[in-house]
Amino acid sequence: MTDAIVLRPDLREVLERSAERESRTLNDIVNEAVGLYVHRMQQAKIDREAEAFERMYGSLRGKFSGKWAAVHNQQLVDHDSDSQALYRRVRKKFGRTSVLIRQVSERPVDEIWMRTPATGKRTP
């Protein structure tokens, strides 16, 4: 049996008006909102895992240079030279939980340069 999710009356009213205005269903709007919430939580978890990876980088580089490392709950949980094999094991063990998989490279964080649309200048 599935538990029903009950919205606060004030939220339901606002969402029902939005749904009517946008010609959508209340269910679609709630699912979209929950999807955004879940994405935000997953991104926050990955950010924490990346910070943990950076803290562990010194010991990881000495042991696993060039290999791939999986970090979950701020702990190294697995590693492999084959990123796809590591991904499959992590997915099998942790399901759809967000787990950071990053290569242990020469530097703890790779720099990313992007051209900004407004100026065309490169920013670090």
Comparison of pLDDT for 113 and 52, the residue scoring more: 52
Instruction: List the Cα angle 78/83/87 in 5-degree steps.
Output: 60
Output the six-digit token pair for 117.
């649309």
Secondary structure class of 110 (helix, strand, coil): coil
Give the model's confidence band at 114: pLDDT under 50 very low, under 70 low, under 90 confident, else very high: low
pLDDT for the residue numbered 106:
75
| 25-72 residue pLDDT tens | 999 999 999 999 999 999 999 999 999 999 999 999 999 999 999 999
Ranges of each domain in the chain:
9-123
In the predicted model, what is the mean pLDDT of residues 86-103?
Answer: 95
Secondary structure class of 94 (helix, strand, coil): helix
Comparison of pLDDT for 5 and 118, the residue scoring more: 5
